[in-house]
């Protein structure tokens, strides 16, 4: 065994893909998840893919006592990958306090336990949302942090600050890496895990695949009058498997002492910007389906365009996204087909 990693939110979309990569790299994995946005069955699916069943605890990280008990029981944890958080932008505007309590308190509880139980390393799920609409594209890690567009975005900014301040105060006993994700889409090639939004999806890719399958009637394209080549918004979409691999590299970096500062942050994207219409075209190419869509007004709070400068991640982490936009839409479609087939059985 390479070491023992606690993955919070390990049955969620990005968490489950990261658990698979960790196990395949020889790590022992312990998952904590409150199943607020995922299913227990994901643990069995991880076992189907890897042949190893990770240990699973179902509880909420806001519960400080349970967090403490976990670390008292699971001794010898070498690092934490902290995914567990609420992530719907619109919902965060409706329920800011739920987001502040959930996203901030969970991290505070983990950091207190890390200090008490001498857990040395943490990887944090951050987001390109911390940049707002950058003045310069592609955006690099030194870009100024703009006022957040939503309570969700604000929690990512505050969590990065909580990490920075605590790691400084812990004076070398805890190391952290924040990975600023761009737009993760796609699914594992096994077709056994992927994104499973509850209810009507907010994000583009699951909305497209559900429309392709006929669960949704039509995709609304939010605006074609932006200052971009085809008028729709531009994002840096990244395959979730590439993203998952970045976490392994980040945790390895700290475990092997290769980190250059106690707290570091990296952009995790492909470095390419694609428009909403590019994604639709890719989906039509890889699924062979014609997508029913119509252009509607802009979505409040949307950023016009953002894509990553990944030079630092590529050079420092020695990590680079490998998979193409067609790999992303193809695997997302395959996952949609598999899910629906299974539901009908």
Q: Supply the residues annotated as catalytic.
A: 152
Q: Is 82 exposed, middle or buried (0-12, 13-18, 19+ CB in 10 A)?
A: buried
Q: Is 314 in the site for ligand UD1 (CB under 6 A)?
A: no
Least Å distance, CB 12 to ligand UD1, is 12
Q: Is 302 in the site for ligand UD1 (CB under 6 A)?
A: yes
Which of the ranges 63-71, 97-105, 216-224, 330-338 carries the binding residues for ligand UD1, by CB under 6 A? 216-224
| Paired tokens of 159 | 């969590």
Least Å distance, CB 57 to ligand UD1, is 25
Q: Is 247 in the site for ligand UD1 (CB under 6 A)?
A: no
Q: Is 122 in the site for ligand UD1 (CB under 6 A)?
A: no
Beta-strand ranges (E) seen in 128-273 are: 175-181, 183-185, 219-222, 234-235, 237-239, 263-268
Binding mask 15-54 for ligand UD1 (x = CB under 6 A): ----------------------------------------
Q: Is 166 in the site for ligand UD1 (CB under 6 A)?
A: no
Q: Is 87 in the site for ligand UD1 (CB under 6 A)?
A: yes
Q: Is 303 in the site for ligand UD1 (CB under 6 A)?
A: yes
What is the helix, strand, coil percentage profile of the chain, to 5? 45, 15, 40
Binding mask 88-107 for ligand UD1 (x = CB under 6 A): -x------------------
- 200-205, long-range: CB within 8 Å, 24+ apart, which pairs? 202/88, 202/89, 202/90, 204/276, 204/279, 205/237, 205/279, 205/328, 205/329, 205/332
Q: Residue from 37, 103, 126, 129 that binds ligand UD1 (CB under 6 A)? A: 129
Find the helix or strand (DSSP H, E) in which 267 lies: strand 263-268
Please say whether the beta carbons of 271 and 310 come within 8 A. Answer: yes
Residue 301: left (phi > 0), alpha (psi -120 to 50), or beta?
left
Q: What is the dihedral of CA 73, 76, 79, 84, to 10 degrees?
A: -10
Quick one: 224 or 316, whose CB is closer to ligand UD1? 224
Find the helix or strand (DSSP H, E) in which 123 lies: strand 121-127
Please say whether the beta carbons of 270 and 128 come within 8 A. Answer: no
Quick one: 24 or 302, whose CB is closer to ligand UD1? 302
CA 214 to CA 240: how far, in whole Å? 24
Q: Is 82 in the site for ligand UD1 (CB under 6 A)?
A: no
Least Å distance, CB 129 to ligand UD1, is 3
Q: Is 204 in the site for ligand UD1 (CB under 6 A)?
A: yes
132-161: which residues touch ligand UD1 (CB under 6 A)? Answer: 149-150, 153
Residues that bind ligand UD1 (CB under 6 A): 87, 89, 127, 129, 149-150, 153, 183, 202-204, 207, 219-222, 233, 235, 276, 299, 301-303
């Amino acid at each position: 065994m390479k070491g023992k990693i606690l993955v919070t939110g390990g049955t969620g979309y990005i968490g489950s893909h990261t658990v698979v990569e960790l196990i395949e790299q020889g790590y022992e994995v312990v998952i904590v998840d409150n199943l607020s946005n995922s299913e227990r069955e994901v643990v069995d699916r991880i076992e189907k893919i890897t042949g190893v069943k990770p240990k699973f605890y179902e509880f909420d990280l806001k519960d400080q006592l349970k967090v403490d008990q976990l670390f008292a029981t699971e001794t010898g944890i070498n690092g934490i990958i902290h995914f567990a958080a609420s992530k719907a932008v619109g919902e965060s505007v409706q329920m800011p306090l739920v987001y502040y309590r959930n996203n901030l308190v969970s991290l505070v509880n983990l950091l207190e336990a890390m200090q008490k139980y001498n857990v040395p390393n943490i990887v944090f799920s951050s987001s390109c949302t911390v940049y707002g609409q950058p003045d310069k594209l592609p955006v690099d890690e030194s870009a100024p942090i703009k006022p957040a567009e939503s309570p969700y975005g604000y929690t990512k900014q505050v969590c990065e600050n909580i990490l920075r301040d605590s790691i400084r105060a812990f004076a070398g006993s805890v190391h952290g890496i924040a990975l600023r994700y761009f737009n993760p889409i796609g699914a594992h090639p096994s077709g056994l895990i992927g994104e499973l939004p509850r209810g009507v999806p907010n994000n583009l890719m699951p909305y497209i695949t559900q429309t392709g399958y006929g669960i949704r009637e039509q995709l609304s394209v939010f605006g074609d009058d932006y200052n971009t080549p085809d008028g729709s918004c531009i994002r840096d979409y990244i395959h979730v498997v590439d993203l998952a691999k970045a976490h392994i590299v980040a945790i390895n970096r700290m475990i092997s002492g290769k980190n250059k500062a106690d707290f570091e942050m990296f952009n995790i994207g492909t470095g390419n910007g694609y428009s909403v219409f590019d994604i639709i075209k890719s989906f039509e190419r890889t699924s062979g389906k014609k997508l029913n869509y119509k252009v509607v007004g802009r979505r409040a709070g949307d950023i016009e365009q953002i894509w990553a400068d990944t030079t630092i991640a590529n050079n420092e982490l020695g990590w680079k996204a490998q998979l193409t936009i067609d790999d992303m839409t193809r695997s997302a479609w395959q996952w949609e087909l598999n899910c629906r087939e299974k539901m009908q059985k």
